[in-house]
A = this chain, B = another copy of it.
Amino acid sequence: MRNIKLLIEYDGTNYSGWQIQKNANTIQEELLKAIYKITGENVNLNGSGRTDAGVHAKGQVANFMTNSQLTQDRYADAINSKLPEDIVIRNSCEVPLDFHSRYDAKGKRYSYTIYNSIHPNAIGRDYVYHIRHCDKLDINKMIKASEHFIGTHDFAGFMSVGTSVIDTVRTIHSINIHTNKDIIKIDYYGNGFLYNMVRIITGTLLYCGLSKIEISNIDEIINSKDRKRAGATVPAKGLCLEEVFY
Contacts and interface: CB of A to CB of B under 8 A. Distances in A.
B76 A122 contact: no
Interface string A23-56: 0000000000000000000000000000000001
Contact of A88 (B9, B89, B121): B121
Per assembly, the copies of the chain total: 2
- Main secondary structure on A side of the interface with B: mixed
Interface stretch (A62-70, A79-87, A134-142, A206-214): A79-87
A119 interface: yes
A165 interface: no
Contacts of A58: 123
A123 B85 contact: no
Contact of A125 (B85, B119, B121, B125): B85
Nearest to A87: B122
B85 A120 contact: yes
19 contacts: A9-B121, A9-B122, A9-B123, A10-B122, A10-B123, A11-B123, A11-B125, A56-B123, A80-B119, A85-B125, A86-B122, A86-B125, A88-B119, A88-B120, A89-B119, A123-B127, A123-B240, A124-B124, A124-B127
